Amino acid sequence: MALIQCHFFSDVLQLSTSMTVILPQQTVSQIGMTGTAGDGRHPTLYLLHGMSDDDTIWLRRTSIERYVAPMGLAVVMPQVHRSFYTDMVEGSQYWTFISEELPRLAQSFFPLSTHREANFVAGLSMGGYGAFKLALTHPDRFAAAASLSGALNVAKTAPSRDEMRRVFGSQAFSGTPNDLLWLLSQVDKSHGPKPRLYQCCGTEDFLYEDNQTFKRAAELTSLPYVYQEEPGTHEWGYWDKAIQDVLAWLPLSQ
pLDDT, one tens digit per residue, over 144-201 is: 999 999 999 987 766 557 888 889 988 888 899 999 999 999 999 999 999 999 999 9
Alpha-carbon distance 2 to 24, whole Å? 6
Tell me what pLDDT residue 121 has: 98
Domain at 2-249, CATH class: alpha beta
Cβ contact 58:49 at 8 Å:
yes
> What is the domain partition of the chain in residue ranges?
2-249
| pLDDT of the residue at 132 | 98
Which pLDDT belongs to residue 159? Answer: 52
Q: What is the mean pLDDT, run by run of 10 residues, along the chain of 254 residues? A: 96 98 89 80 97 97 97 97 96 98 98 97 98 98 98 76 86 90 97 97 97 98 98 98 98 78
- Whether 20 and 4 have beta carbons less than 8 Å apart is answered as yes
Tell me how far apart the alpha carbons of residues 95 and 48 are, in angstroms, rounded to a whole number.
13
How far apart, in whole angstroms, are the C-alpha atoms of residue 249 and residue 96? Answer: 28
Return the pLDDT at 51.
94
Interaxial angle between packed helices 126-137 and 180-189, expressed in degrees from 0 to 180 and rounded to the nearest 10: 30
Position 32 scores a pLDDT of 78
